[in-house]
Chain A
Amino acid sequence: MKSAKQETVPIATSSDVVMARQKVRQWAIEMKFTLVDQTKLVTAASELARNALEHGKGGHMVIEQVENSVKNGLKLVFEDRGPGISDVDAALRDGFTTGGGMGLGLGGSKRLVNDFQIESEPGKGTRVTVVRWK
């Protein structure tokens, strides 16, 4: 998997979440994703950016265009230095929330992308990496 170009977006305020969505939409349009795929990517980004802000005390998102031997993809990495997730399986379960949310963001965004990976260490932070292929 080789990377063509990338961009980093800070996630420190709720307007940064709006900005993150707009960036992802721009990139997805540029890469000529279908409208449905654009919407899936933007929505997943919205969920993960908001998690990094609300649960992870802020961090950043890295957008990267990736390609393998057969196709192009858009990769998003969300990284924060928050409390981490002690039970990732539980966090992924629909309806699980430690806040006042619906508890659907994490599991939902997993269903909106092709590749989904969480690395989290309690006390250190969380990194969620997602890719949607064209």
Chain B
Amino acid sequence: MSKLPEMINKHHEEIRADWLKQMSTAVRRADLISNEELESQSRELMDAIASGARSGELTNLDGPAWGQARDTLGAISTSRAKQGFSTSETATFVLSLKQPIFNAVRRENPSDPAALFDDIWKSTQLIDKLALITADAFQASREKFIARQQEELMELSTPVVKLWDGILALPIIGTLDSARTQVVMESLLQAVVQTNSRVAIIDITGVPTVDTLVAQHLLKTITAARLMGADCIISGVRPQIAQTIVHLGIDLAGVITKAKLSDAFALALQRTGQVVTKVNGDNAGKRTLLRREE
């Protein structure tokens, strides 16, 4: 039976000190991670490895004995992914444990080459496995991170802006697919409630194609907003889009549409009782509006 598990458990403090020394001379990305963090991460990982090694199992790391090590590597990977480390830099953190462990193995087996070779072989396999676990966890958390960024981007690209008291505007840019509609609808409804708005202008100037699916999504959004007490005006209906909508046979009878955002805005002001200020007069008021929109 190999003495390696016992050796790791007994000497893990020395191994760790050696490891930290190695890291301080190798590429360390001091720009991304502090000494304290590195110190505490190496301590956690070394403790977890020692506790795994105590089980005597060094080849199969799927069991409960190595659970702590897997969790620790997962947590380290997640924080490295956020800090902007690359996959290889993160794996190198674990792989750089090899040299310190080899050093310890050599000290333990000064006169037994067979045992020395055996332990080195086993510890190589062990560290490689730990590095693989790290790379997998790193990849997974990067993917999660990217998916979240995409979601955030989607929200950013459909900003609801408050144009005026009680008037919201929602410029839609790009394709209005089902996932997008969900986001659009949610942010609009939330804004309607938050700002207590009575009119929402949905501007579709940036939507390249309005087919039956897009129309259905728009109508759903309008219905939902209406249930929350806000009327919608669709603006940015270009002539070619208007024609296509008619040919498709889409019934927009219950929906107010305007060619330009400025027209929709003027109507919205009127609807919320804000169009005429007696002091400036009607025309002056309209000029201000137009300037605002541009």
Contacts and interface: CB of A to CB of B under 8 A. Distances in A.
Interface of A: 14, 18, 21, 25, 35-36, 38-40, 42-43, 46-47, 50, 94, 101-102, 104-105, 107-109, 111-112
Contacts of B216: 101-102
B273 interface: no
Contacts of B250: 102, 104, 108
Given A35-B240, A40-B243, A112 B248 contact: yes
A42 B209 contact: yes
Q: How large is the interface on B (under 10, 10 to 19, 20 to 34, 35 or more residues)?
A: 10 to 19
Given A39-B240, A40-B243, 17 more contacts: A21-B208, A25-B208, A36-B239, A38-B240, A43-B211, A46-B211, A46-B213, A47-B212, A101-B216, A102-B212, A104-B212, A104-B248, A105-B212, A105-B248, A107-B249, A111-B247, A111-B249
Interface string B199-242: 00000000011111101100000000000000000000001110
Contacts of B249: 94, 104, 107-108, 111
Contact of A14 (B177, B215, B244): B177
Contacts of B177: 14
A39 B246 CA distance: 13
B150 interface: no
Q: Which of B212, B216, B249 is packed against the most chain A CB atoms within 10 Å?
A: B212
